[in-house]
Structure 1
Amino acid sequence: MVILAIGGVGRPVRALDPGEDETWVTVEQLERVLDAVTGREDVRLTFDDGNSSDVEIALPRLVERDLTAEFFPLAGRIGQRGFIDAAGLRRLVEAGMSIGSHGWEHHDWRRLDGRLARRELEAAPKLLAELSGKPVQAYAPPFGAYDRRLLSRLRRSGATRVYTTEGGLASRDGWLQPRTELRHDVDQEWIDAVLGERDGLYRRAGRFLSRVARLAQI
């Protein structure tokens, strides 16, 4: 299956981090992708960062298509301008969406130790669970970055699933899940190439199998 990673949608209402505009899509682009995945059991949707557009733009469009998604907010930015607040987090849960952790701020988890690591990997999911009323056990490391040390730590913390951004196929029940990012230039050609034909998904299975072989050494 394919798992899509979506950032912000529509016109930003805050200053974007450097390079963040690369993963910001228009409402029309999102709608075209959602139309393409409606009814597809071999595609999953995820949203990163906890932008206010998750609730204001994405949520109603997901609901009207009977789609669900997993949302990975930054716990440290809950309630800030341009980001989801506690009420929005509960709205997602009430609509049948799932909540995972993207950390506290947008840091590379491989490079953290001590207090900062505990804040990103422990305090963030705890706060998100308290605000949403649901356990938070899935993680999406910022930048999709991971290494053996980080994966070991996430396993010890009880992570049920970890999402990256390597692209390619994902195993439905895998613990480490590669995602394909939506970029600012997503168009119908991209949608057709990534999602258009189910047979096309399996022609890319070589990438997935090579990743499995590599991870077996971790």
Structure 2
Amino acid sequence: MTETVGTESGDAHITWHEAKRPRLVLALGHGAGGGVEARDLQALARVLPAHGVTVALVEQPWRVAGRKVAPAPKTLDTGWRGVWPALAGTGLPVISGGRSAGARVACRTAAGLGACAVLALSFPLHPPGRPERSRAAELLGAGVPTLVVQGGNDPFGKPGEFPEGEFELVEVDRGDHGFAVPKRAEITQEGALEVITAGVVTWVASLA
């Protein structure tokens, strides 16, 4: 089921993948270069409901409006805050999550919105080739239990580049920023997605 939610940044869409006996809601925002059709978001939406987690895929207003370029971080945060009442309205604890730019939004807004945890998929630790422009402060400032899932070859920040902090990290071997793996890699694309979903399932179970 997809519902339209009005925000100060325009209309957003929430597509619900509901668990039969939910105990948590996992809200997932997309990145600046794509939408909720991303392979990792879709894999989590397929797998998590069987583990008692309702997954809400959130399409930001700029994507709903058909724009091709994401707006400034402040506007992304406004859109995310605007959909939060619909997410929290379930009465269940909500994990704030997203991939890439969506992961940054989740980290920046988690404490203020009352999220119970943060799931950061492909967190863009820095622009490619610019490690001095670190965004680690956003991740470290989330203020709630946080899981980072990162590709081993992500140009926006490889797992070994992340600082020590109050977060867990799952590495997808050979994965790039979209968790694509080379055809000749030991791990298959399906295997890479299984690493992501299994890691998230285990982490979510630890939150209970």
TM-score range, shorter chain: 0.3 to 0.5
Which of 1 and 2 has higher RCO (CA within 8 Å, sep 6+)? 1
Larger of the two Rg values belongs to structure: 1
From the two aligned structures, give the one with the greater strand fraction: 2
From the two aligned structures, give the one with the greater helix fraction: 1
Q: TM-score, normalised by structure 2?
A: 0.42
Q: TM-score, normalised by structure 1?
A: 0.41
